Amino acid sequence: MEANTVSLYLSKPLELENQSNIKLIRILLSIITTVILVIVLKEMAFVIIPLVMSIFLAALLVPTFIQLKKWKVPNVLAVFIVGAAIIGAVRVGGFIIQLTHYEYSLKKNEINSLVDTKLLPTLESIGDYTGIDLGKDIDWSRFTSALSTGKLMDSVSPVLDMFNSVVGMYLMILIYLIIILANMYNYEKWLLYLGGEKNGKGLNNVVNNWIEDLRIYIKVKALVSLMTGILFGTLCYLFGVDFALFFGFLAFILNFIPQVGSLIATVFPVLLAFLEMNSLPVVGLFTGLLMAVQLLMGTFVEVKYIGKSFAMSTLVVFVNLVFWGYLWGIAGVVLSVPIMILFKNIANHVDENSMLARLFSSEK
């Protein structure tokens, strides 16, 4: 009896130690798996990005396909209609950029002269006033040389890089999208089959909730971005700022990038207005109106139509933006919010009161 008691007493620390070792091993395996996954996502970006983009596009097109199905439109014809619409949108964007490039080629000497005679002296004056030697701390020669060689449009490289990267992967995205769209009608049955009897309904609910949230987000974001782009272009035209069409297009595209997109979209027209206008009060009025548009669209209209219940933590959105931007560049920045919406739905499905689910949501 005493021997059994002693053996039980000695076995308890061993069991606790084994459990502790198992927990440590699981943590280490999770870390290793996460690191490997991040490396794969970064190294295989040229294949994964088009696939992810096509999945998101297909998810957004689910309501359209359901409506076409109600109208008894054949599957092949529905895919053709959607593909033609996407091709048309890409061509419109390309036309705007080509037109802006042509307009800039006609005015580049004038703009470069304004940079030399107005912008750089202003920066020097700011440096004298603040005590910061901007000319010493910043290599402006690279900036001016870029302008002098007719590369002002490189200063809006985030948009151009995004557009060029999407166009560069356009064929792969189109191929993936056609394959996905061709099988979209039966996606719910496939999800039920994939999840099995135990997890099929849960998986289906997660995907459908994600599609609905993504549709609401993109619908509101597209409307807000379109209104912002129109107002930006109109203000640039009324104030006589060149490239009004391009700056409207720029505001529309960059508005899809959370946190920093609206700021970048405002900086470039303000900078050009400063170069072209001789009245600082007018430049200030122009800047104030652009900021008012961003404030009105982003703070009031977007929040009203998306709703506070759909709001996400600003800090988590920013960290998510930086992480996916590091992995996939501009494409990752654009895809960061849709990916976060997916993770948010998964976390809410598992346990909406969990720390992870609360992390993705803003405090109510």
Confidence band, pLDDT 50/70/90 cuts, at residue 160: low
DSSP for 129-158? Answer: HHT--HHHHS-HHHHHHHHHTT-GGGGGHH
The residue with tokens 């998964």 is 346
Please state the rounded mean pLDDT for residues 174-183. Answer: 79
Per-residue pLDDT of 256-283, as tens digits, reads: 887 788 888 899 899 889 888 888 889 9
DSSP for 317-344? Answer: HHHHHHHHHHHHHHHHHHHHHHHHHHHH
pLDDT at 144: 47
pLDDT at 146: 46
Other CB atoms within 10 Å distance of the CB of residue 214: 19
- What does the alpha-carbon distance between residue 56 and residue 270 come to, in Å, rounded to a whole number? 34
Contact in structure between 209 and 191 (CB atoms under 8 Å): no
HSE at residue 302, side-chain half, CA atoms within 13 A, is 21
Closest by Cα among 118, 184, 166, 195 to 335: 166
Q: Is the pLDDT of residue 141 over 60?
A: no
Confidence band, pLDDT 50/70/90 cuts, at residue 150: very low
Share the mean pLDDT of the chain: 76
SS3 (DSSP) at 92: helix
Please state the rounded mean pLDDT for residues 63-73. Answer: 78
Please state the rounded mean pLDDT for residues 92-114. Answer: 81
pLDDT at 151: 46
Q: Which residue has the higher pLDDT, 145 or 250?
A: 250
